[in-house]
Structure 1
Amino acid sequence: MHDANRTTAIRKEEDNYRTSFSRMCRAGRTMKIRWLPALLILVVVAVTIRLGFWQRDRAHQKEALQASIERYEHAAPVDVGAQPVPLASIEFHRVRAKGRFLSEQAVFLDNRPYNDQPGFYVVMPFKLTGGGVVLVNRGWLPRNIADRTAIEPFATPAGDVEIVGIARADASRAFELGEGGSAAHQKIRQNLDVAAYAKETGLPLQPFVIQQTSDDGDKLVRDWPAAATGVERNYGYMFQWWAMAAAALGFGLYAARRAAKKSAGA
């Protein structure tokens, strides 16, 4: 009788051991499975936080650029001569140039509305007195409504003149599907690339465009839009990335808490 009770007790201990061991194995497998989503959430949080800081840094860079642009507006103009000037060192600066317009090589950039009226930007090579050439965005010209290919008359100064303007990377860019609308040797184009136009014409162009601000009495409109750096967009992206990081972290904490409650109740 005593031996039978002892045997029963041993078997009961063995059953308890197997049950405990089985639970430990299941808990271990569950723990391994839960580590993967936790790791993924941590990666998402780290990446989105980093992207938020990157957008913040970009915003600070653009704020510094905007401050420089405002400072250049009140500075004395830089004289443009035959010596090529790198775009990076002159963009957004006020510049001054002396020479004459090459009106026969004018290009008209299409789809440049002004006050909801269709029109062109008149871009013309300007032969500098000391040698070399620079492209000048002279201003806005309304389009002929009856014939979109017709160019309305406008005046061009004859002989040598002095112009003042702002150095820009290009004469503004409009949305374009493909490059057919900006093909070489067209008077009316969608966009104009400085380097491509230099190759097309053989002109020794400066690597920038002068956005003319001085008045030549030519009736062209020079109500230029302010240079936009897009700093607000970078701050918007920054907050979006950080909101995603907060959402991912909140979801991870919620999931972990729910899993802990479920394990405790098991």
Structure 2
Amino acid sequence: MKIRWMPALLILIVVAVTVRLGFWQRDRAHQKEALEARITQFENAPAQQLSAAPVALKDIEFHRVKAVGRFLTDYVVYLDNRPYNDQPGFYVVMPLKLADGGVVLVNRGWLPRNQDNRTTIAPYTTPEGDVEVEGIARADASKAFELGQGGSAPHQRIRQNLDVTAYAAETGLPLQPFVIQQSSDDHDGLVRNWPVPTMDVGRNYGYMLQWWGMAVAAVAFGLYAARRAAKKEQAPTV
């Protein structure tokens, strides 16, 4: 049988690429599983006490932390488009000035949005004086989809998203590079039924099987095409 090199080469390229992509999705799934195990381990560990000393995000993310300080109410930011039980609302993000110096942002919880006027903030309370806050260190206070940066422009009380580094530059506050997702209860009227972080590992395994299925299909198509070509070559000419 005469081998047609160009079609064979194309099939080999398709197989090599799809097999490699399948392994990449498998590796991503393994990485996410390892991260999920770390998150579970951190959540069950004792809370780390924060101080004025800066802590790198990579060394604190997903750890349980606690901090003592007072809330800076003048710097509050309300993150819009944060639904809870299909009801629109805000996340209340407020800096906490630590008792021994330094500042850390706290995602205090969820607040329902006024259906008639989105700029009207529902009542909630803020503890006066020093308070102990406990929660999980996160890279941000959650991110929502937005077109451009208009919804997160500086000096707005209601925003779509909040970048910690940009907010530190905007306010001049010496912020830690992470946000505390508060779990402790201050009886302030805010909801803290936080969604459980999920890595969606099943999706990666699904993509892995799809890529490898495409590799098998490419091989099967190549064998089928080669068989048909061989039959044509063997067919007697009239």
TM range (shorter): over 0.9
What do residues 92-117 of structure 1 show as CA deviations (whole Å, max 9, x unaligned)? 11001111100111000000011111
SS at match of 2:196: coil
- Using the size of structure 1 for normalisation, the TM-score is 0.87
Q: Distance in 2 between matches of 1:160 and 1:256?
A: 78
Asked if residue 198 in structure 1 is aligned to residue 168 in structure 2, the reply is yes
What do residues 44-90 of structure 1 show as CA deviations (whole Å, max 9, x unaligned)? 10111011011101100100110111111111001111111111111
Match of 1:97 in 2: 67
Asked if residue 147 in structure 1 is aligned to residue 117 in structure 2, the reply is yes
Match of 1:44 in 2: 14
Can you give the 5+ residue segments of structure 1 that lack an aligned partner in the other structure? 1-26
Match of 1:5 in 2: none
- Using the size of structure 2 for normalisation, the TM-score is 0.97
- What is the alpha-carbon root mean square deviation over aligned residues? 1.1
Q: Distance in 1 between matches of 2:220 and 2:142?
A: 45
Asked if residue 173 in structure 1 is aligned to residue 146 in structure 2, the reply is no
Q: Distance in 1 between matches of 2:173 and 2:140?
A: 16
How far did residue 230 of structure 1 move?
2.3
SS at match of 1:221: coil
Amino acid at match of 2:113: R
Match of 2:29 in 1: 59
Q: Which is higher, the Rg of structure 1 or of structure 2?
A: 1
Match of 1:77 in 2: 47
Amino acid at match of 1:38: A
SS at match of 1:235: helix
**Counterpart among 187, 191, 198 of residue 228 in structure 1:** 198
* Corresponding pairs, count: 236
Asked if residue 215 in structure 1 is aligned to residue 199 in structure 2, the reply is no
Amino acid at match of 2:151: G
Q: Distance in 2 between matches of 1:44 and 1:79?
A: 53
SS at match of 1:136: strand
Can you give the 5+ residue segments of structure 2 that lack an aligned partner in the other structure? none
What do residues 172-192 of structure 1 show as CA deviations (whole Å, max 9, x unaligned)? 011101100000000000000
**How do 1:178-189 residues align onto structure 2 when only pairs under 5 Å count?**
178-189=148-159
Match of 1:163 in 2: 133
How far did residue 130 of structure 1 move?
1.4
Higher relative contact order (CA 8 A, sep 6+): 2
Match of 2:98 in 1: 128
**Counterpart among 85, 88, 92 of residue 118 in structure 1:** 88
How far did residue 236 of structure 1 move?
1.4
Asked if residue 256 in structure 1 is aligned to residue 226 in structure 2, the reply is yes
Shift >4 Å, 4+ stretches: none
How far did residue 262 of structure 1 move?
1.0
